[in-house]
Amino acid sequence: MNSFNDLENVYQVLDFSISHNRMLMRSMKNQFREYHIDLFFKGVSFICMTMRFDGIKISPSTPTEMTNLRCNVKVDSDEVGYSSFTLTDKIGDFYYITASAWGVFHNRLDLLETSLTNDNWEDLGELVLWYQ
């Protein structure tokens, strides 16, 4: 079970492509690191979340978490190739996303340059984690 835990940085939704079902969240580079940390979600089919996270933890959703879903919508993550993930912020608020895959990349793109429309994985930066 892969999960990602970074409670020290701020992440925000930078880009979303409806036509490609992709979402990009980014923690901008700062005085402690010279790269952005990108959270790249592929095959997004459901989102119930805020646009900004002060710290973030991403893990596969448990059945209990899915029954306590705040959005009051039925999420069918039983579709082949899709999984639901819980996104938790530093203070413990939790949100959900259903996607076919997600990954963490370090990159040195320009400040607001997106990587969503690029299918060349080498251009996304250094791969840190991939969950599919």
Residues in CB range of 26: below 8 A, 6 or more apart:
11, 12, 14, 36, 37, 38, 39
Residue 18: domain span: 4-131
Domain count within the chain:
1
SS3 content of the chain, % helix, strand, coil (to 5): 5, 50, 45
CA distance 129 to 2: 8
pLDDT in the model for residue 131: 87
Q: What is the pLDDT of residues 94-122, one digit of tens each?
A: 899 999 999 999 988 887 888 777 666 66
**97 beta partners:** 47, 85
| Token duo for residue 7 | 């409670």
Alpha-carbon gap, residue 74 to 131, rounded angstroms: 23
- pLDDT tens per residue, range 26-77: 999 999 999 999 999 999 988 989 999 999 999 998 877 766 665 555 555 5
Q: What is the pTM of this model?
A: 0.85
